[in-house]
Structure 1
Amino acid sequence: MIVGVDDKSLTENSAATNRTSLWGGRFAGGPSEALARLSVSVQFDWRLAPYDLAGSRAHARVLARAGLLDAEELGRVLAALDDLEAACASGEFRPTIDDEDVHTALERGMLERLGTLGGKLRAGRSRNDQVATDLRLYLRDHARGVAERLVELADALVEQAERHVDTPAPGMTHVQHAQPVTFGHWLLAHVQPLLRDLERLRDWDARTAISPLGAGALAGSSLPLDPVQVAKELGFTASAANSMDAVADRDFVAEFLFVTSLIGVHLSRLGEEVVLWTSQEFGWVELDDSFATGSSIMPQKKNADIAELARGKSGRLVGGLVAVLTMLKGLPLTYDRDMQEDKEPVFDAVDTLQLLLPALAGMISTMTVRVDRLAAAAPVGFTLATEVADWLVVKGVPFREAHEITGKLVALCVARDCALDEVSDEDLTLVSPHLDAGVRDVLSVRSALAARTTPGSTGPGPVADQLATAIDKLAGWRTWATEVVVPR
């Protein structure tokens, strides 16, 4: 792991360092302080250092195969890269503001170790193809970290669902009681979007596994390099088909931010439900003390802050996507400095999800579900009305008419302030001759749930099937999330 840096540490370290620049021969003087401060990106792109070093190893080997480094030079370069990586990881080597970016800082480190030999690594590559490669490597690596955290949250939901396969609850539409469901079914409804998020990450990864290294600034290189071999060494599936597109393409950034934005939306919806479930008005769920907060003035409060932060942080994830799309929309080919703005949103997205997902997983896994309150709420609001309409359909009544009859029955209950099963046999027939005492067979939550036997529905049987499928899929995703995609 590379030790991080910030603006303060850059400023403190800069005075003791001689400037290393990757450009400047054409200029009579150095950049103004205002330009230098605007241009510097090393305070945030330093986290790309391990990936830049991995690319440098592959590039050194391809230079040796091209006859541009002899065997002794290659050995010294690879040893220096290993030493520099260790120094970066320990914090012994750190960038300064004079380094401008991660590439400049690492070249300085190589020059300090190798003298002029350290400058040979720059042959045949540009910061344009370097940064595009580094960012792809970083995101492919960290996407799996996000996937691992997603699996943990899905596991927590699945474990809770296993406890509530047949726990009745009032399913809702328009935040109004609609039809009875099992709470396990409801929890698994939050697992499904997470599974889709995992699929999107894998699909994204397949499109991102293309190496830009070898494209140079935009036109490739006249040196006898081998981009295909470099791609293979770095764990990519292929090298870029067009050198201009290789350095200009940030689709992989925008698509990654779309995936993380959608993850944020899914987490926000889950968070909103937990806020409702834990409210006094619902009272269906009690959060563990270790995953709730209190009030500085009201001693009785127990707040679902993790759930609320899940809602709030979705805004910054969506904002990052909008920022990058807006930045890209008018850029001519190939590289433009605007593209420096592609990194902070993805770094922030990764950091946000790595922080949020474990907290949500802990909150879900430790919460206590109030089965008694859920069961009591399940029939409230005439949630069994559809069972009456379906019962009439089975008797041969067209659904349009059955719907009308059931609506009149509900209206009678509202007027008399009674439940559906409290209407007398005489009043049933007054509502409609199609209604009789036989309808009472379907006027229970248990019978309503048991009747749902089709795949994907809320009955205990289908819910058990959904659980088995989810558990099997998550086992596969757990394996994918721990794959090593950036070889040394």
Structure 2
Amino acid sequence: MSLWDARFKKAADQRLNDFNSSISVDHRMYAQDIKGSIAHAHMLGKQGIISMEDAQAIEEGLLSIKKDIEDGTLLIDPMAEDIHMFMESELTKRIHDAGKRLHTARSRNDQVALDTRLYTSDAIDEVIENIKDLIQVIVDKASEHTETIMPGYTHLQRAQPITFAHHIMAYAEMFLRDIERLKEAKKRVEVLPLGSGALATTTYPINRDMVCEELGFQSVSMNSLDGVSDRDFCIETASDLSMVMMHLSRFSEEIILWCSWEYKFMELDDAFATGSSIMPQKKNPDVAELIRGKTGRVYGNLTTLLTMMKGIPLAYNKDMQEDKEALFDAIDTVNLCLTTFTPMLETSRILKDNMRNAASKGFINATDCADYLTKKGMPFRDAYRCIGALVSYCQDHNQTLETLSLEEYKQVNELFEEDIFEAISLDTCVNMRVVKGGPAPQTVKAHIEQVKTKLGEM
């Protein structure tokens, strides 16, 4: 039996009931539904809209339902229309008429909006903690490799020497920004819609500020139409989660490359790699590949939410029931990826010698060679052309800048002296880049300490 049976002369087709039901998706919000309902009951009792006895009975009844769900005594009915109607029905079974009074001055429209906001706020906290765990692993890994020299790349071409610590600390910065975005989103998630009613508030003397304070929300929605029909917070959260996945996907792509025989900069622990069904030599970075693939899934959820909302007039429309499946899937996917990627990175082995060997090839110290000349008074553009000619000479004669003789250097320009070999050594190229944000070990160590401080403050 549905709530609106008295209005209709014909029973709903079972196919409609199945199509209309959202219990399979929103059942996970049972704790948030209980939390919001208890706050609403407290307010109704305090305002004298219902008796304090009924308010107390509602709270006790809801807490007993929560306990029974969590210890397995009570199973959520999969035939219920949604979690909200299941809760109300179960509460009424337990406390009778008092349970029927809970929905006073409340619509499912503002109730659903509240529950979704409560759930999203909790989920953001969980995602942030998982990101912090990943950043800590990055920081720990970087601390071990502040002097592990590797080639830095642009266009996937070896460009300039850096350290492995410097490279992965770039991802620490990305994930710190993700945390900042999610924290900022919480301000707009924690806006109380309860009290908006179906769309036009209520004639009961409710106190929305009281509910807001009890729930720990940051503000109260100031327009009831917007209160029930706003899903910006879902879209913003999904957008922020898409950014997290984009950063994870970029990092995963690097790990996939580094684990290949063509790079061989990293080896994954056996516990976080897979093999082949036919090729016994294979060790595949499937975790990283799956994260790269699942990124598209989270992007798809964001697109679903944006498309769902783009043509909806005020106020509530049933289209909005689709918000939770997309949002919940994005949250679940991000958490799954974070909690798998983090131990994969933590247990990986960095092949330092291979990194250094790669850095010794590809003329990645050419810029430093040009800088050597500019420090002796030559304009940079002239030095640039000079070193370009030197690199061309090396390629024609199967040499590197390190293997050239001083006489060969001087044939190009007389400014070169014996100290050129120290100037273009990989260690010098890295250690001299002490500019804030650079790869010099002392600079990266300072960056690591700064990130540790930020993590402690978050």
Q: TM-score range by the shorter chain?
A: over 0.9
Distance in 2 (CA, whole Å) between partners of 1:364 and 1:54 is: 38
* Equivalent in the alignment of 2:385: 404
* Equivalent in the alignment of 2:62: 81
**Is the deviation greater in 250-259 or in 56-65?**
56-65
1:22 aligns with 2:11: no
Distance in 2 (CA, whole Å) between partners of 1:215 and 1:77 is: 21
1:226: Cα distance to partner? Answer: 0.5
* Equivalent in the alignment of 2:353: 372
1:33 aligns with 2:17: no
1:119 aligns with 2:109: no
1:82: Cα distance to partner? Answer: 1.0
- Which of 226, 234, 242 in structure 2 is aligned with 1:245? 226
1:282 aligns with 2:291: no
Does the Cα contact within 8 Å between 2:46 and 2:52 map onto a contact in 1?
A: no
- Which of 433, 451, 456 in structure 1 is aligned with 2:432? 451
Deviations 1:125-159 (A, max 9, x none): 11110111001100111111111111111111111
1:379: Cα distance to partner? Answer: 2.0
Matched position secondary structure for 1:213: coil
Distance in 2 (CA, whole Å) between partners of 1:84 and 1:427 is: 85
1:349 aligns with 2:330: yes
Distance in 1 (CA, whole Å) between partners of 2:78 and 2:118 is: 24
1:470 aligns with 2:451: yes
Does the Cα contact within 8 Å between 2:128 and 2:182 map onto a contact in 1?
A: yes
Deviations 1:403-436 (A, max 9, x none): 1111000000000010102222232222234434
* Equivalent in the alignment of 2:364: 383
* Equivalent in the alignment of 2:248: 267
Identity of aligned residues (%): 40
1:236 aligns with 2:217: yes
* Equivalent in the alignment of 2:73: 92
Does the Cα contact within 8 Å between 1:36 and 1:100 map onto a contact in 2?
A: yes
Distance in 2 (CA, whole Å) between partners of 1:97 and 1:422 is: 74
- Which of 166, 177, 189 in structure 1 is aligned with 2:147? 166
Matched position secondary structure for 1:463: helix
Greater RCO structure (CA 8 Å; 6+ sep)? 1
Distance in 2 (CA, whole Å) between partners of 1:396 and 1:333 is: 69
Does the Cα contact within 8 Å between 1:218 and 1:247 map onto a contact in 2?
A: yes
- For 1:259, give the aligned amino acid: D
- For 1:356, give the aligned amino acid: C
* Equivalent in the alignment of 1:16: none
Superposed counterparts of 1:27-66, under 5 Å: 27-66=8-47
* Equivalent in the alignment of 2:51: 70
1:306: Cα distance to partner? Answer: 1.0
1:455: Cα distance to partner? Answer: 0.5
Distance in 2 (CA, whole Å) between partners of 1:54 and 1:72 is: 18
1:303: Cα distance to partner? Answer: 1.0
1:173: Cα distance to partner? Answer: 0.7
* Equivalent in the alignment of 1:360: 341
- Which of 192, 203, 208 in structure 2 is aligned with 1:227? 208
Does the Cα contact within 8 Å between 2:49 and 2:204 map onto a contact in 1?
A: no
Matched position secondary structure for 2:158: strand
Does the Cα contact within 8 Å between 1:179 and 1:384 map onto a contact in 2?
A: yes
Unaligned runs of 5+ in 2: none
1:201 aligns with 2:176: no
1:97: Cα distance to partner? Answer: 4.5
* Equivalent in the alignment of 1:184: 165
Distance in 2 (CA, whole Å) between partners of 1:289 and 1:79 is: 50
- For 1:58, give the aligned amino acid: A
Does the Cα contact within 8 Å between 1:40 and 1:97 map onto a contact in 2?
A: no
- For 1:216, give the aligned amino acid: G
1:301: Cα distance to partner? Answer: 1.1
1:238: Cα distance to partner? Answer: 1.6
- Which of 116, 124, 133 in structure 2 is aligned with 1:135? 116
Deviations 1:355-399 (A, max 9, x none): 111211101111111111111111210000000111111112111
Distance in 1 (CA, whole Å) between partners of 2:405 and 2:71 is: 80
1:307 aligns with 2:288: yes
1:92: Cα distance to partner? Answer: 2.9
Distance in 2 (CA, whole Å) between partners of 1:447 and 1:52 is: 61
Matched position secondary structure for 1:193: helix
Q: What TM-score do the two structures reach when normalised by structure 1?
A: 0.92
- For 2:28, give the aligned amino acid: R
- For 2:431, give the aligned amino acid: A
1:294 aligns with 2:270: no
* Equivalent in the alignment of 1:12: none
Does the Cα contact within 8 Å between 1:22 and 1:104 map onto a contact in 2?
A: no
Q: How many residues align?
A: 458
Deviations 1:97-138 (A, max 9, x none): 442111111111011112222111111011110111001100
1:147 aligns with 2:128: yes
Distance in 1 (CA, whole Å) between partners of 2:435 and 2:167 is: 16
RMSD: 1.2
Matched position secondary structure for 1:246: helix
Distance in 1 (CA, whole Å) between partners of 2:370 and 2:446 is: 27
Distance in 2 (CA, whole Å) between partners of 1:115 and 1:399 is: 85
* Equivalent in the alignment of 1:326: 307
Distance in 1 (CA, whole Å) between partners of 2:46 and 2:111 is: 19
Matched position secondary structure for 1:160: helix
